[in-house]
């Protein structure tokens, strides 16, 4: 019998019910597709799974072996049995949430999720409040910057308790095009994006970029630096990108 290839049809079970899936697909995606609620802070379907938040834990039985594992980076396989909300899984999730609360005690996303599991406080030492206190080190911002935007403007630095997501040397991220994709995927809203006086400011990466003024309506929209980058990649004339999406869509 040949080994299954990625994309091959397989059959597996979730909480005793049989489902069809594709070999190698993310187990978390399949669980959510079939209506099972599994928490996560570090997963987004647009980028590769990372498994850092440890909240998407499930129990998987494969043959005679059964273990607790993160579901985002566990591949769907023939014959596995998945248990989403066992006593062991809930106990492990509570510990993980206690750890997140010790690192990000002010994060609303973390506190709300912890409350769903009855976790209102943490037995672990709460870290000193600082500007990184809402960052759960999920890596979503750097993955979307690397894999989708393709500029790699930010990355992890340090190890252990000193691990941080930063721009190079914690100075201005010169490669950042100001697209805001990192802000969009951040689960705790800790990056910060504001626009005022014709400037888009991305706080965490120390990046300030002037906004393009639409030649038709006069409204300011995307950063000019971002539009120039898009022009290079697509071959679309910069002049065509000087019109905001609303005015462009209104052209008959």
Q: Is the pLDDT of residue 132 over 80?
A: no
Confidence band of 129 (pLDDT split at 50, 70, 90): low
pLDDT digit string (tens) for 155-188?
999 988 889 999 999 999 999 999 999 999 999 9
Residue percentage of the chain with pLDDT more than 90? 86
CB atoms within 10 A of CB 122: 17
- pLDDT given for residue 134 in this prediction: 87
Q: How far apart, in Å, do the first and last CA atoms of the chain sit? A: 59
How far apart are the C-alpha atoms of 54 and 209, rounded to whole Å? 35
Question: Is residue 205's pLDDT more than 70?
Answer: yes
Of residues 240 and 3, more confidence is placed in 240
* Sheet with 65-70, side-by-side order of all strands: 17-22, 9-14, 81-83, 57-62, 65-70
Integer Cα distance of 156 and 142 in angstroms: 8
| Confidence band, pLDDT 50/70/90 cuts, at residue 5 | confident
| pLDDT for 1 beyond 80 | no
Q: Is the pTM of this model over 0.95?
A: no
Task: Determine how many CB atoms are found less than 10 A away from the CB of residue 80.
Answer: 19
DSSP 156-207: EES-GGG-EEESGGGS--TT-----HHHHH-TT--S-EEEETTEEEETTTTE
Q: What is the pLDDT of residue 224?
A: 96
Q: What angle do CA 94, 47, 62 make, to 5 degrees?
A: 55
Average pLDDT estimate for 64-90: 97
Taking the domains of the chain in order of start, what are their residue ranges? Answer: 9-85, 140-250
pLDDT confidence of residue 178 = 97
pLDDT at 2: 62
Beta pairing class for 65-70 and 155-157: unpaired
The C-alpha atoms of residue 94 and residue 57 are separated, in whole angstroms, by 11
Contact between 10 and 76 under an 8 Å Cβ cutoff? The reply is yes
pLDDT of residue 106: 87
CATH architecture of 9-85: Roll (3.10)
Q: How far is CA 180 from CA 52, 63, 148, 149, in A?
A: 22, 45, 12, 10
Question: How far apart are the C-alpha atoms of 154 and 41, rounded to whole Å?
Answer: 19
């Amino acid at each position: 019998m040949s080994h299954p290839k990625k994309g091959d049809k397989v059959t597996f079970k979730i909480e005793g019910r049989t489902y069809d899936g594709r070999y190698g697909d993310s187990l978390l995606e399949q669980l959510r597709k079939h209506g099972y609620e599994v928490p996560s802070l570090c997963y987004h379907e647009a980028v590769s799974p990372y498994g850092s938040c440890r909240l998407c834990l499930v129990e998987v039985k494969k043959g005679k072996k059964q273990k607790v594992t993160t579901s985002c980076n566990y591949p769907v396989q023939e014959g596995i049995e998945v248990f989403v909300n066992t006593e062991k899984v809930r106990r492990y999730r509570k510990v993980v949430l206690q750890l997140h609360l010790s690192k990000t005690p002010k994060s609303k996303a973390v506190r709300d999720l912890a409350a769903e599991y009855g976790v209102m406080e943490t037995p672990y030492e709460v870290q000193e409040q600082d500007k990184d206190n809402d960052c759960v080190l999920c890596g979503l911002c750097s993955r979307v910057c690397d894999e989708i935007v393709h500029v790699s403007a930010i990355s992890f630095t340090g190890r252990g308790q000193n691990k941080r997501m930063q721009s190079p040397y914690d100075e201005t991220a010169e490669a950042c095009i100001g697209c805001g994709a990192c802000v969009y995927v951040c689960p705790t809203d800790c990056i910060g994006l504001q626009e005022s006086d014709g400037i888009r400011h991305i706080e965490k990466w120390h990046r300030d970029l002037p906004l393009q003024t639409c030649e038709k309506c006069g409204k300011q929209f995307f950063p000019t630096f971002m539009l120039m980058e898009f022009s290079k990649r697509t071959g679309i004339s910069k002049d065509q990108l000087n019109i905001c999406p609303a005015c462009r869509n209104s052209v008959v």
